[in-house]
Amino acid sequence: MASTKPTETATTTMTIDAREHGHPDGPATVHVEINGLADSRGMAMLAAGAEGRYSFDFAIGTSGIEITKAYIEGMRAQKEELPEWVAVVREAIERQLGL
């Protein structure tokens, strides 16, 4: 009987104030849930109050994370359509993952 290696997942949450990181027009509170997978891929879900809901899939590389897919209010979007303050979230995820 063949055995399969289980895929490990980890969920991390954090709260970020985008205004404290150089984005004065950004949301005061962004709740972030990160689901990281053992295969160097993950997903971040962002709840930013009146600013809306965003999420992105990412790949973990040697120089940090790369956003591979983006979603705005649950609908597929281009990565470039994400607000500029999402860079703050990406950087926080990289710190959290020790990259």
Model confidence, pTM: 0.82
Give the C-alpha separation, 95 to 99, whole Å. Answer: 6
C-alpha triplet 15, 88, 39: angle, nearest 5°? 85
- Can you tell me whether residue 48 is helix, strand or coil? coil
Residues 31 and 15: beta-carbon distance below 8 Å: yes
* pLDDT per residue rounded down to tens, the chain (99 residues): 443 333 455 788 899 999 898 888 889 999 999 987 667 889 999 999 889 999 999 998 888 899 999 999 999 999 999 999 999 999 998 888 887
